[in-house]
């Protein structure tokens, strides 16, 4: 029997079970969402759909034009959620510029990067006319206000165990003991980064947060912040659910054991979403694989080939009603060479990103740059109003607002 998918399930329709449920701990799985609807029956016994509105929030740092990992791991999912949303849903997407300054930034470059990111989000199809609110994090001061309040109940021990922080400690402290000099180089903003991320989500009462694999731990921490706050003060904050994306971890093209990342110095390790077709082709054709010239899917032993198959699986679905999983593709391509595989991947990625570059350039320059300012100002206004609703309740609960009048 054909099952009709509710709007909450539709974003995940067509994905294989492997794509929806990635290896994760049981606790993570409990908190991961496949967006389901509440179904009930009316007086005549007819099944009716009673559906709470979804509030979807996610963010991206303005560290240059996004790459294919950002796009397949997050942005494409954001667009799909937007396109499948019901009118009562809310969608908020933020260029998280305050997170960006946890690392040293040149002011002029940061200003440019924020605009480029805004243009990139619009170029991939996020659209205020379709209900997406897009804004700079720094335009909504309620994010930092809630961050401070959450900091007062957040555990230092938990923050100290965050993978991102631990990797920074290792980078600054090769000897392995925390000397004064190493600690001086580490900044408080970097340590409390996850508290600001929790505030981003909680201040908008987000129910679902679509992110790539590397953000799972931050999302767990956000739930912990909500629970701590609710327990200490009043049940106001909404613990958000992590939304798994179809491709939560796209790997580097030069070091397929590590994820594709904006911070890696080697540009050949990634493809930015505004890359021209000749650059896309050259990066894919020179992607690191291995010495065996055949196509098999084995992420452990052949991570480079597995990553190419993953890219093909994700970008090849325009013609397919259901995207073929990487292992199925490997079986179909069993007689092919790695060169054949790379050519297919290059073609599929070029098709997937067609038009993004032109739209990005056009949006950056539309109305002499003013159009982007207008879009951001409108988004920030909506986001401020939404966040202020939460902050009024939060301030009251903590004792910082007027509270209920006694007389």
The 8-class DSSP code of residue 4 comes to: P
262 flagged as catalytic: yes
- Which tokens belong to 359? 């739209």
Print the binding letters for residues 78-117 with ligand TYM: x by CB under 6 A, - otherwise.
------------------x--x------------------
130 flagged as catalytic: no
- Which tokens belong to 167? 């990797």
Collapsing DSSP to helix, strand or coil, 131 comes out as: coil
Print the binding letters for residues 52-81 with ligand TYM: x by CB under 6 A, - otherwise.
-----xxxxx-------xx--xx-------
Q: Is 382 exposed, middle or buried (0-12, 13-18, 19+ CB in 10 A)?
A: middle
Candidate list 125, 212, 303, 326; residue touching ligand TYM; CB under 6 A: 212
| Residue 19 in contact with ligand TYM, rule: CB under 6 A | no
Q: What is the largest CA-CA distance in the chain?
A: 82
Question: How far is Cα 258 from Cα 255, in angstroms, rounded to an integer?
Answer: 6
Site for ligand TYM in 166-205 (CB under 6 A): 197, 200-201
Number of residues that bind ligand TYM (CB under 6 A): 25
Q: CB of 260: closest distance to ligand TYM in angstroms?
A: 4
First and final CA of the chain: distance in angstroms?
61
Question: How far is Cα 387 from Cα 56, in angstroms, rounded to an integer?
Answer: 13
The catalytically annotated residue of 50, 262, 342, 367 is: 262
The catalytically annotated residue of 80, 108, 234, 259 is: 259
Question: How far is Cα 387 from Cα 204, in angstroms, rounded to an integer?
Answer: 5
What DSSP element (H or E) covers 33? strand 32-33
How far, in Å, are 52, 92, 203, 204, 344 from residue 386 at the CA level?
17, 10, 8, 6, 45
Q: CB of 49: closest distance to ligand TYM in angstroms?
A: 28
The catalytically annotated residue of 49, 166, 168, 339 is: 168
| Residue 250 in contact with ligand TYM, rule: CB under 6 A | yes
Candidate list 120, 140, 150, 260; residue touching ligand TYM; CB under 6 A: 260
166 flagged as catalytic: no
Candidates 320, 395, 328; CA nearest to 351 is: 320
Provide the binding-site residues for ligand TYM, judged by CB under 6 A: 57-61, 69-70, 73-74, 96, 99, 197, 200-201, 209, 211-212, 214-215, 218, 248-250, 259-260
Active-site residue set: 168, 259, 262
């Amino acid at each position: 029997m054909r099952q009709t998918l509710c709007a909450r399930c539709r974003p995940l329709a067509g994905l294989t079970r492997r794509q929806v449920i990635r290896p994760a701990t049981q606790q993570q799985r409990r908190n991961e969402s496949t967006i389901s609807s509440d179904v009930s029956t009316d007086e005549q016994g007819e099944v009716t759909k009673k559906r709470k509105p979804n509030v979807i929030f996610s963010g991206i740092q303005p560290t240059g034009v996004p790459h294919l990992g950002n796009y397949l791991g997050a942005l494409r999912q954001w667009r799909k959620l937007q396109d499948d949303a019901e009118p009562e849903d809310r969608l908020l997407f933020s260029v998280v510029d305050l997170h960006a300054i946890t690392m040293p930034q040149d002011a002029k470059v940061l200003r440019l990067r924020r605009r480029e990111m805004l243009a990139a989000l619009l170029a991939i199809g996020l659209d205020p006319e379709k209900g997406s609110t897009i804004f700079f994090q720094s335009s909504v001061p309620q994010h930092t206000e809630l961050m401070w309040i959450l900091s007062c109940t957040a555990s230092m021990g938990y923050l100290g165990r965050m993978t991102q922080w631990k990797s920074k400690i290792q980078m600054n402290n090769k000897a392995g003991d925390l000397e004064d000099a190493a600690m001086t180089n580490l900044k408080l903003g970097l340590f409390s980064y996850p508290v600001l991320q929790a505030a981003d989500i909680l201040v908008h009462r987000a129910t679902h947060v679509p992110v790539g694999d590397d953000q799972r731990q931050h999302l767990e921490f956000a739930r912990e912040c909500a629970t701590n706050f609710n327990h200490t003060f009043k049940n106001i904050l909404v613990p958000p659910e992590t939304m798994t994306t179809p491709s939560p971890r796209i790997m580097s093209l030069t070091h397929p054991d590590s994820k594709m990342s904006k911070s890696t110095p080697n540009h050949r390790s990634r493809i930015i979403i505004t890359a021209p077709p000749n650059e896309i082709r050259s990066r894919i054709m020179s992607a690191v694989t291995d010495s065996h010239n055949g196509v098999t899917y084995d992420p452990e032993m052949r991570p480079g080939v597995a990553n190419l198959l993953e890219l093909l699986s994700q970008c090849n679905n325009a013609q397919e009603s259901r995207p073929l999983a990487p292992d199925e593709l490997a079986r179909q391509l069993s007689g092919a060479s790695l060169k054949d595989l790379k050519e297919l991947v290059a073609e599929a990625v070029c098709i997937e990103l067609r038009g993004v570059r032109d739209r990005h350039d056009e949006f950056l320059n539309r109305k002499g740059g003013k159009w982007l300012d207008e879009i951001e100002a409108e988004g920030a206004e909506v986001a401020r109003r939404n966040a202020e609703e939460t902050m009024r309740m939060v301030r009251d609960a903590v004792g910082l607002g007027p509270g209920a009048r006694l007389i």
